[in-house]
Structure 1
């Protein structure tokens, strides 16, 4: 494993700001980086499972890397001659679930010992394209995708992922013309207890919110840049039921760092732009640092990895790597990041 050390002094690079009577302070000063996987694969889906980081990616590849020095595991899920492009992953205590972007859609249930792989859902159609997936508890899960009709595609399970059903459009809000979702980092759907958030992008970029596991929905507008096919929200995260953050921008203008960061403190009902003309441009993933009181976030994208300690007002680059698509936290001081041909670990100190 190769280690690279990046240094920055929190006090020198960040002036502690006061925002809404809160004093913000950076929680780390350095990052060290080592490589956990290096092979030919594009990865946009990660799930942390104790001392393992599960991944799913291109050419039907999936597996885990050990975070404790143990053996890694890799497999291939192929259907006839098709090697799916996996972009979403979710887990329960015993199983991992992966679904691909594109048609046909294949949703696999994989036992965590790697011994059993079962195809539990398939879907065909020119517009079939699944983006993200999460479990809210041991039995109930949700996967979301682009519209195939007048609504986003929403799959649900209530039996631990053994069977999945697609919700009819009469139970979901209608989408606008050119509104869809992006399979950028498995972060288009967020669940906390009974609450669910789905973020859309494209010509319209909104937040779909349900307080009752998807039985009823409210739809909220956002001020993020939108109006073109490759604009809008690409990733979102919620620290708790009130505080959330979303990133994206214009994929055709990767350096544009305005109109690409939005924040909410009322559960997604209202959003405001933040960090205008600062930090990164287009970003594919955002995640809150655990235990940060909703103050600290990390983003990934072609601008590199960026960090904020003041809820998105100011940003500092912590890695120059432009080929990372998605990130997840193993703990409050350990980031697992994946992208083109690699999985790396960043330790915050």
Structure 2
């Protein structure tokens, strides 16, 4: 009887624990009603996080999201700050997508900003930015002459230069400046997901000297369709997207990609609709969000459950901690409680 009891409890306890985990998440709104659409989010730790958005707005919290210091950067009131990379409560880098394309940096907590890059050429449109470490970073932009724009810094964002061998883009293919997460740097290698008339995952090997191109099983053909975001977990990459013009459409809004061998597995239970961002939390847990609401998976992307119907553009987890934030239109900022 004792052996049988232990067998039953060893089976039931993990199931009960998983059930409590899947039902315990909630999204709590921290603030809203600011005249900006937030696309950039960088969570440094459990106290400090930065956001960036339209009309030149940025904000920082140093108390875990309870209060935020907002600023509309003087001289940049028309800038679209689509992505931000923060390294501490003092140092952060922001990029503006449209003409002019810009990179600004602060080292005093946002009290002052220095312009590090400016390009007035209208063919330049920045989509996302990510860093391998505090010194070495990249910016991805829309294709120019059938090649993605790819820029690099090796001095912490002080100077930027075009990479000599950017990835090839197919006709009608582009990346989405929706959440700053269509482009990620993992273990020194680059990962890009694209959309439009083609939808692919592009990755590098051998320190960005070779590119791998794999077609994604995501809806594509229109400029509003394709893959919008990726996040890497244990032995897999989750890709999300869909059609932002039809955000309730649920076919091909998420897929699971394993690299060895390169195989795709689609979820048996999909997110609630279009998703513009996905973030790895821990173990097999990922969070995704978009205008159709926020969803969570606890089994590595096989099944998703909607936990909130509020529209957000981006979600992010602390680089050094557990805090998870979401942000969206109207200056909306929220925290995920688990």
- CA distance, structure 2, for counterparts of residue 185 and residue 136 of structure 1: 18
Secondary structure of the 1:254 match is coil
Which residue in the other structure is 2:257 paired with? 264
Closer, same or farther: CA 185–26 of 1 in aligned 2, 3 Å: farther
Closer, same or farther: CA 73–53 of 1 in aligned 2, 3 Å: same
Closer, same or farther: CA 68–224 of 1 in aligned 2, 3 Å: closer
Task: Determine if contact 1:41/1:59 at 8 Å carries over to the other structure.
Answer: yes
Is 1:208 the counterpart of 2:202? The answer is yes
Task: Determine if contact 1:78/1:84 at 8 Å carries over to the other structure.
Answer: no
CA RMSD of aligned residues (A): 2.4
Is 1:274 the counterpart of 2:266? The answer is yes
Residue from 76, 81, 88 that aligns with 1:86:
81
Residue from 86, 105, 113 that aligns with 2:101:
105
The superposition leaves residues 216-260 of structure 1 with CA deviations (integer Å, 9 ceiling, x where unpaired) of: 3222221111122111101111125x4101000122322221122
Closer, same or farther: CA 91–213 of 1 in aligned 2, 3 Å: farther
Task: Determine if contact 1:36/1:65 at 8 Å carries over to the other structure.
Answer: no
Is 1:229 the counterpart of 2:223? The answer is yes
Closer, same or farther: CA 223–126 of 1 in aligned 2, 3 Å: same
Task: Determine if contact 1:249/1:281 at 8 Å carries over to the other structure.
Answer: yes
Which residue in the other structure is 2:297 paired with? 308
Task: Determine if contact 2:50/2:86 at 8 Å carries over to the other structure.
Answer: no
Residue from 290, 314, 323 that aligns with 1:326:
314
- CA distance, structure 2, for counterparts of residue 121 and residue 344 of structure 1: 31
- CA distance, structure 2, for counterparts of residue 173 and residue 197 of structure 1: 11
Give unpaired runs (5+ residues) of structure 1.
1-14, 17-22
- The number of equivalent residue pairs is 319
- CA distance, structure 1, for counterparts of residue 60 and residue 51 of structure 2: 6
Deviation at residue 159 of structure 1 after TM alignment? 0.9
- CA distance, structure 2, for counterparts of residue 166 and residue 345 of structure 1: 36
Secondary structure of the 1:27 match is helix
Which residue in the other structure is 1:283 paired with? 275
Which residue in the other structure is 1:192 paired with? 186
Which residue in the other structure is 2:159 paired with? 163
Closer, same or farther: CA 337–316 of 1 in aligned 2, 3 Å: same
Closer, same or farther: CA 26–250 of 1 in aligned 2, 3 Å: farther
Which residue in the other structure is 1:250 paired with? 243
TM-score by length of structure 1 reads: 0.84
Which residue in the other structure is 1:181 paired with? 175
- CA distance, structure 2, for counterparts of residue 222 and residue 284 of structure 1: 16
Which residue in the other structure is 2:8 paired with? none
Give unpaired runs (5+ residues) of structure 2.
1-13
Task: Determine if contact 1:221/1:270 at 8 Å carries over to the other structure.
Answer: no
Task: Determine if contact 1:77/1:84 at 8 Å carries over to the other structure.
Answer: no
The structure with the largest helix share of the pair is 2
Is 1:62 the counterpart of 2:58? The answer is yes
Closer, same or farther: CA 84–136 of 1 in aligned 2, 3 Å: same
Moved more, 69-78 or 251-260: 69-78
